[in-house]
Amino acid sequence: MYVLPGETAVDRRSFLHAVSSSLPLDPPLVLHNSWDAMEDSLWQGLLDAAPEKIAILWKRSGELQRRSSRDFETAVSVFISVAESLGNESVTGGPTKRVIVLAA
């Protein structure tokens, strides 16, 4: 299980920093990266991760939602997209992965 600390993720920049410090990424994100770069990097990082079942606990996700609802919606959309594509054998070209993101 991966834990995404959300207490300091209050906008796009701080959310991307939290992702960079707590989730498997390939390639690593650099400061000021885009949502698209995060999605691609997270997808590859989770694809390369060993387990077939992956859980991400996004602690205090409400901080981002409260302070920047637009960034929150985008982040949720990215997680959904990554989870769906990793669960699709035609996208991964091999075994699929089950990814669940729990927002707390």
Give the Cα separation of 1 and 22 in Å (integer). 11
Q: What is the mean pLDDT of residues 8-22?
A: 93
Whether the model pTM is above 0.75: yes
* Structural domains of the chain sorted by starting position, each given as residue range(s) with its CATH number in brackets: 2-103 (3.30.370)
pLDDT digits 0-9 by tens, 19-42: 999 999 999 988 667 999 999 999
46 contacts: CB under 8 Å, gap ≥ 6: 23, 24, 54, 82, 86, 97, 99
